[in-house]
Amino acid sequence: METNPTPPNSPEESAKTKKTDRDQNGWLFIWDLVKVVVIALVIIIPIRYYVIQPFIVSGSSMEPTFENGQYLIVNELDYHISNPQRGDVIVFKYPKNTSEYFIKRVIGLPGEKVLIQNGKVIIYNTANPNGFTLNETYLPAGLYTEATTDQPITLGPDEYFVLGDNRPASSDSRFWGDVPSNDIVGKVVLRAYPFSQFTRFITPQYQTQSK
């Protein structure tokens, strides 16, 4: 006796086709999910931890440039290929407690001498052995930079002198010394929040004024 084959498009065949389609769709979804995870691991996470990183300002030491609670984007890649420049605003590990992070402005570079005198910052280096007064146009008019010593501070080959823009309210290199290059996390490049104050920051250009 001959058995009749299942006619095309019978309920049994349709059920099998639907099950096969569901299996294929399920595997496609899992494969897409795996690709997303791989992309995150290979691209997004390294960017987050090694290229840019967000920081929230805490305190008033950088006012009026940055205020408490503002959300900043820090470029961590730049200092792997170049050195910090005078005027850069940087995030770094506090040398006295590296579990804390500070934000300040780079004032003195490796090998230089920094003297604070009569409320002004004077820089001595090979190009200016007699010293020049730093023209800090980003500071409020009339702001006085208090000195903690009447002697110049000499920086080593990998040391930076940093100050807050709000000098009367800033704990900085005047009080606890230099910042080693290894403690520097990166340079502030954007204020991302609040949105109404979104700003890209560029390192200021200083005019050399003789002492």
Q: Is pTM beyond 0.85 here?
A: no
Per-residue pLDDT tens for 22-76?
A: 556 667 778 777 766 655 444 445 445 555 678 889 899 999 999 999 999 898 8
Catalytic residues: 61, 104
Per-residue pLDDT tens for 164-179?
A: 999 999 999 999 999 9
Per-residue pLDDT tens for 95-111?
A: 999 999 999 999 999 99
The 10 Å CB-count burial string (b at 16+, else e) for 45-79 is eeeeeeeebebebebbbbbebbeeebbbbbbbebb
135: helix, strand or coil: coil
